[in-house]
Protein backbone atom coordinates (compact mmCIF):
# COMPACT_ATOMS: atom_id res chain seq x y z
CA UNK A 1 0.00 0.00 0.00
CA UNK A 2 1.16 3.54 -0.74
CA UNK A 3 0.54 6.73 1.23
CA UNK A 4 1.39 10.12 -0.24
CA UNK A 5 1.46 12.85 2.41
CA UNK A 6 1.18 16.50 1.38
CA UNK A 7 2.68 18.70 4.08
CA UNK A 8 4.67 21.87 4.67
CA UNK A 9 6.77 20.00 7.25
CA UNK A 10 8.03 16.78 5.60
CA UNK A 11 10.82 16.58 8.16
CA UNK A 12 8.18 15.93 10.85
CA UNK A 13 7.85 12.34 9.64
CA UNK A 14 11.52 11.38 9.80
CA UNK A 15 11.12 9.98 13.31
CA UNK A 16 7.68 8.30 13.35
CA UNK A 17 8.22 6.53 10.02
CA UNK A 18 11.52 5.01 11.11
CA UNK A 19 10.38 3.01 14.12
CA UNK A 20 8.29 -0.01 15.07
CA UNK A 21 5.67 -1.66 12.89
CA UNK A 22 5.66 1.15 10.32
CA UNK A 23 9.40 0.82 9.76
CA UNK A 24 9.20 -2.95 9.46
CA UNK A 25 6.29 -2.72 7.02
CA UNK A 26 8.27 -0.29 4.88
CA UNK A 27 11.34 -2.51 4.93
CA UNK A 28 9.20 -5.51 3.93
CA UNK A 29 7.75 -3.48 1.02
CA UNK A 30 4.25 -3.79 2.45
CA UNK A 31 4.03 -0.03 2.91
CA UNK A 32 5.32 2.86 0.84
CA UNK A 33 5.13 6.35 2.34
CA UNK A 34 6.11 9.30 0.14
CA UNK A 35 6.29 12.88 1.37
CA UNK A 36 5.40 15.86 -0.79
CA UNK A 37 6.42 19.36 0.28
CA UNK A 38 3.50 21.66 -0.47
CA UNK A 39 5.89 24.59 -0.88
CA UNK A 40 7.30 22.95 -4.01
CA UNK A 41 4.01 23.78 -5.74
CA UNK A 42 3.97 27.52 -5.06
CA UNK A 43 4.67 29.94 -7.94
CA UNK A 44 6.29 32.79 -5.97
CA UNK A 45 9.85 33.09 -4.73
CA UNK A 46 8.66 33.24 -1.12
CA UNK A 47 6.95 29.83 -1.51
CA UNK A 48 3.75 31.19 0.00
CA UNK A 49 1.16 28.56 0.95
CA UNK A 50 -1.27 30.64 3.01
CA UNK A 51 -3.17 33.92 2.97
CA UNK A 52 -5.65 35.93 5.03
CA UNK A 53 -9.27 34.70 5.03
CA UNK A 54 -11.88 36.55 2.98
CA UNK A 55 -14.38 38.27 5.26
CA UNK A 56 -11.78 38.88 7.96
CA UNK A 57 -11.02 36.87 11.03
CA UNK A 58 -8.05 35.51 12.91
CA UNK A 59 -5.40 33.22 11.45
CA UNK A 60 -4.31 32.26 7.97
CA UNK A 61 -5.77 29.79 5.50
CA UNK A 62 -3.96 27.36 3.20
CA UNK A 63 -4.35 28.52 -0.40
CA UNK A 64 -6.07 26.21 -2.91
CA UNK A 65 -3.58 26.59 -5.79
CA UNK A 66 -0.61 24.63 -4.34
CA UNK A 67 -2.86 21.92 -2.87
CA UNK A 68 -4.64 21.32 -6.18
CA UNK A 69 -1.32 21.35 -8.06
CA UNK A 70 0.25 18.84 -5.65
CA UNK A 71 -2.67 16.41 -5.79
CA UNK A 72 -2.95 16.63 -9.58
CA UNK A 73 0.77 15.93 -9.95
CA UNK A 74 0.60 12.94 -7.64
CA UNK A 75 -2.41 11.53 -9.46
CA UNK A 76 -0.44 11.44 -12.72
CA UNK A 77 1.14 8.17 -11.48
CA UNK A 78 -2.08 6.34 -10.64
CA UNK A 79 -5.50 6.80 -9.11
CA UNK A 80 -5.62 7.49 -5.39
CA UNK A 81 -8.21 8.34 -2.76
CA UNK A 82 -7.65 11.89 -1.53
CA UNK A 83 -8.28 12.57 2.18
CA UNK A 84 -8.20 15.97 3.83
CA UNK A 85 -7.31 15.72 7.51
CA UNK A 86 -9.55 18.23 9.23
CA UNK A 87 -11.40 18.74 12.54
CA UNK A 88 -14.55 19.18 10.45
CA UNK A 89 -14.45 15.63 9.06
CA UNK A 90 -16.16 12.48 10.32
CA UNK A 91 -14.30 10.66 13.08
CA UNK A 92 -11.53 8.28 12.01
CA UNK A 93 -12.34 4.86 13.50
CA UNK A 94 -11.09 1.29 13.35
CA UNK A 95 -13.73 0.67 10.72
CA UNK A 96 -12.30 3.53 8.65
CA UNK A 97 -8.81 2.08 9.02
CA UNK A 98 -10.06 -1.29 7.79
CA UNK A 99 -11.65 0.35 4.76
CA UNK A 100 -8.49 2.26 3.88
CA UNK A 101 -6.34 -0.85 4.31
CA UNK A 102 -8.19 -2.36 1.34
CA UNK A 103 -7.00 0.43 -0.96
CA UNK A 104 -3.82 0.49 -3.03
CA UNK A 105 -3.08 4.18 -2.59
CA UNK A 106 -4.17 7.10 -0.40
CA UNK A 107 -3.18 10.77 -0.56
CA UNK A 108 -3.32 12.58 2.80
CA UNK A 109 -3.52 16.38 2.84
CA UNK A 110 -2.24 17.86 6.10
CA UNK A 111 -4.10 21.01 7.08
CA UNK A 112 -2.35 23.86 8.86
CA UNK A 113 -3.01 27.32 10.30
CA UNK A 114 -6.68 28.30 10.63
CA UNK A 115 -7.74 25.77 8.01
CA UNK A 116 -7.73 24.93 4.31
CA UNK A 117 -9.59 26.74 1.55
CA UNK A 118 -13.02 25.10 1.37
CA UNK A 119 -12.63 24.44 -2.34
CA UNK A 120 -10.08 21.78 -1.46
CA UNK A 121 -12.61 19.97 0.75
CA UNK A 122 -15.51 20.31 -1.69
CA UNK A 123 -13.86 20.02 -5.10
CA UNK A 124 -10.65 18.05 -4.59
CA UNK A 125 -10.77 15.72 -1.58
CA UNK A 126 -12.78 12.50 -1.74
CA UNK A 127 -13.43 12.76 1.98
CA UNK A 128 -12.45 14.57 5.16
CA UNK A 129 -11.34 12.77 8.32
CA UNK A 130 -10.85 13.91 11.90
CA UNK A 131 -8.79 11.94 14.43
CA UNK A 132 -10.70 13.32 17.41
CA UNK A 133 -12.73 16.10 18.91
CA UNK A 134 -9.77 18.38 19.50
CA UNK A 135 -7.64 20.75 17.45
CA UNK A 136 -4.02 20.11 16.46
CA UNK A 137 -1.50 22.65 15.18
CA UNK A 138 -1.51 20.78 11.88
CA UNK A 139 -2.47 17.59 10.13
CA UNK A 140 0.93 15.93 10.45
CA UNK A 141 0.23 14.09 13.74
CA UNK A 142 -3.18 13.08 12.37
CA UNK A 143 -1.58 11.71 9.19
CA UNK A 144 0.81 9.62 11.24
CA UNK A 145 -2.06 8.23 13.33
CA UNK A 146 -3.90 7.20 10.16
CA UNK A 147 -0.79 5.59 8.65
CA UNK A 148 -0.01 3.68 11.84
CA UNK A 149 -3.58 2.40 12.31
CA UNK A 150 -3.87 1.29 8.68
CA UNK A 151 -0.41 -0.32 8.62
CA UNK A 152 -1.35 -2.65 11.47
CA UNK A 153 -4.12 -4.08 9.28
CA UNK A 154 -1.96 -4.81 6.24
CA UNK A 155 -1.45 -8.57 5.75
CA UNK A 156 1.98 -9.52 7.06
CA UNK A 157 2.61 -6.27 8.95
CA UNK A 158 2.15 -7.91 12.38
CA UNK A 159 3.94 -11.03 13.52
CA UNK A 160 0.63 -12.49 14.70
CA UNK A 161 -2.43 -11.66 12.61
CA UNK A 162 -4.71 -12.28 15.61
CA UNK A 163 -3.17 -9.25 17.31
CA UNK A 164 -5.05 -6.85 15.03
CA UNK A 165 -8.24 -8.90 15.27
CA UNK A 166 -8.21 -8.63 19.07
CA UNK A 167 -7.47 -4.91 19.26
CA UNK A 168 -10.00 -2.56 20.79
CA UNK A 169 -12.81 -1.65 18.35
CA UNK A 170 -11.96 -4.59 16.05
CA UNK A 171 -14.24 -7.53 15.29
CA UNK A 172 -12.24 -9.69 17.71
CA UNK A 173 -11.74 -13.46 17.85
CA UNK A 174 -13.14 -13.68 21.38
CA UNK A 175 -16.62 -12.52 20.54
CA UNK A 176 -16.52 -8.97 21.88
CA UNK A 177 -15.95 -7.16 18.61
CA UNK A 178 -16.57 -3.43 18.41
CA UNK A 179 -15.80 -2.82 22.09
CA UNK A 180 -12.63 -2.22 24.09
CA UNK A 181 -9.98 -4.89 24.40
CA UNK A 182 -9.93 -7.26 27.37
CA UNK A 183 -7.21 -6.96 30.10
CA UNK A 184 -3.84 -8.56 29.38
CA UNK A 185 -1.44 -10.20 31.84
CA UNK A 186 2.00 -11.81 31.59
CA UNK A 187 4.65 -13.33 33.87
CA UNK A 188 5.12 -13.32 36.79
CA UNK A 189 1.79 -14.74 37.89
CA UNK A 190 2.31 -13.10 41.29
CA UNK A 191 3.80 -9.60 41.44
CA UNK A 192 4.04 -8.19 44.97
CA UNK A 193 0.51 -8.77 46.28
CA UNK A 194 -1.05 -8.58 42.81
CA UNK A 195 -2.05 -11.90 41.27
CA UNK A 196 -3.10 -12.80 37.73
CA UNK A 197 -6.75 -13.94 37.58
CA UNK A 198 -6.86 -17.68 38.16
CA UNK A 199 -8.97 -18.37 35.08
CA UNK A 200 -6.03 -17.36 32.86
CA UNK A 201 -3.87 -20.01 34.50
CA UNK A 202 -6.49 -22.75 34.30
CA UNK A 203 -5.78 -23.96 30.78
CA UNK A 204 -9.55 -24.09 30.16
CA UNK A 205 -9.86 -22.32 26.82
CA UNK A 206 -13.63 -21.85 26.87
CA UNK A 207 -13.55 -20.34 30.36
CA UNK A 208 -10.72 -18.03 29.27
CA UNK A 209 -12.66 -16.96 26.19
CA UNK A 210 -15.78 -16.25 28.26
CA UNK A 211 -13.78 -14.31 30.88
CA UNK A 212 -12.08 -12.19 28.22
CA UNK A 213 -15.38 -11.40 26.56
CA UNK A 214 -16.91 -10.45 29.90
CA UNK A 215 -13.95 -8.26 30.87
CA UNK A 216 -14.00 -6.52 27.50
CA UNK A 217 -17.63 -5.64 28.04
CA UNK A 218 -16.84 -4.49 31.58
CA UNK A 219 -14.08 -2.16 30.39
CA UNK A 220 -16.39 -0.75 27.75
CA UNK A 221 -19.18 -0.25 30.27
CA UNK A 222 -16.78 1.64 32.51
CA UNK A 223 -14.89 3.74 29.98
CA UNK A 224 -16.93 3.89 26.73
CA UNK A 225 -20.55 2.96 27.49
CA UNK A 226 -21.75 4.55 24.24
CA UNK A 227 -20.12 1.69 22.33
CA UNK A 228 -22.31 -0.95 23.97
CA UNK A 229 -25.47 -0.10 22.04
CA UNK A 230 -23.76 -0.84 18.76
CA UNK A 231 -22.33 -4.05 20.17
CA UNK A 232 -25.66 -5.30 21.49
CA UNK A 233 -27.29 -4.63 18.13
CA UNK A 234 -24.83 -7.08 16.56
CA UNK A 235 -25.54 -9.89 19.05
CA UNK A 236 -26.64 -12.20 16.27
CA UNK A 237 -23.07 -12.23 14.95
CA UNK A 238 -21.53 -13.24 18.25
CA UNK A 239 -20.21 -16.79 18.91
CA UNK A 240 -22.43 -19.28 20.67
CA UNK A 241 -22.51 -19.15 24.43
CA UNK A 242 -23.51 -16.46 26.89
CA UNK A 243 -24.82 -13.35 25.17
CA UNK A 244 -23.45 -9.89 25.77
CA UNK A 245 -26.60 -8.95 27.65
CA UNK A 246 -26.18 -11.95 29.97
CA UNK A 247 -22.55 -11.10 30.64
CA UNK A 248 -23.38 -7.46 31.27
CA UNK A 249 -26.10 -8.53 33.72
CA UNK A 250 -23.54 -10.66 35.56
CA UNK A 251 -21.15 -7.71 35.75
CA UNK A 252 -23.79 -5.38 37.12
CA UNK A 253 -24.83 -7.94 39.73
CA UNK A 254 -21.21 -8.57 40.76
CA UNK A 255 -20.56 -4.86 41.17
CA UNK A 256 -23.74 -4.46 43.18
CA UNK A 257 -22.55 -7.15 45.59
CA UNK A 258 -19.05 -5.80 46.02
Which residues are designated catalytic? 87, 114, 152, 167
The angle subtended at Cα 134 by Cα 128 and Cα 140, nearest 5°, is 60
Phi, psi (rounded to 5 degrees) for 156: 90, -10
Half-sphere exposure in the Cβ direction for 20 (13 Å, CA):
12
Q: Return d(Cα 110, Cα 200) in angstroms, integer.
A: 44
Q: Are 87 and 130 in contact (CB under 8 A)?
A: yes
Give the distance from CA 222 to its chain's centroid.
22
3-state secondary structure 138-166: ECHHHHHHHHHHHHCCCCCCCCCHHHHHH
Q: Return d(Cα 76, Cα 31) in angstroms, integer.
A: 20
| DSSP 8-state class, residue 233 | H
Contacts within 8 Å (CB) and 24+ apart, 160-168: 167/94, 168/94
Q: Return d(Cα 125, Cα 123) in angstroms, integer.
A: 6
My answer on whether omega of the bond before 188 falls inside 30° of 0, hence cis, is yes
Amino acid sequence: MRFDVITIFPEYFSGPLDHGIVRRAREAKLLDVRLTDLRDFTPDRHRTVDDRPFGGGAGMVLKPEPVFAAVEKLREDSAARVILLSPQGPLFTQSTASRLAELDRVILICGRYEGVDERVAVNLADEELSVGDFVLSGGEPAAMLVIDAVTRLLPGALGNEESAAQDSFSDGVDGAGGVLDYPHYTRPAQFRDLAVPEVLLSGHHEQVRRWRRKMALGKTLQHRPELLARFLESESRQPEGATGRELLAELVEERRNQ
